[in-house]
Structure 1
Amino acid sequence: MTIQATLFSFVNRWECDENDHLNVQFYFSRFEEADRQFRLLSGLNETLVGARRVRHVRYHSELRTGDLVTVQSSIAFDGPHMLTVVHEMHNSATGTLAATALDGYEPSANSAKTLRQRFKTYQTSMIAEAAPKGIPAGPANQKVTLAGLEAKGAQVVFRGTVLPRDIGVDGKADDRFALSCCTDGVAHVWQRTPMTHGYLTENGFGRVAVEMKLSWATPLKTGDMMLVISGFTSVGARTFSMRHHLFESRTSRLVATLDVVALTMDLATRKAVDLPPEAHQAINKMLID
Structure 2
Amino acid sequence: MARTAKIKPATAVDDARPASANYHAHALARGLALLEMLAEGPQPLTLLEFYQRTGLPKSTLVRLLAVLAEMEFVVRVDERPAFRLGHKVQMLSTAYVAELDVSVVAGPYLRELAQASGQTANLGLLDRDQVLHVCVEEPDRPIRFTATTGSRDATYCTALGKMLLAGVPADRIAAHVEKPPFPRRTDHTITTLAELRRELRRTAEQGYAFDDNEGSVGLRCLAVPIAVDGEPVAAVSVSGPSGEVQPDRLRPYLDQLRAAADALSGDPDVVAALRKLHRSLSPTRGGAA
| TM-score class normalised by the smaller sequence | under 0.3
Bigger Cα Rg = 2
Q: TM-score by structure 1 length?
A: 0.24
Q: Which has the higher helix share?
A: 2
Q: Which has the higher strand share?
A: 1
**Which structure has more RCO (C-alpha within 8 Å, separation ≥ 6)?**
1
Q: TM-score by structure 2 length?
A: 0.24
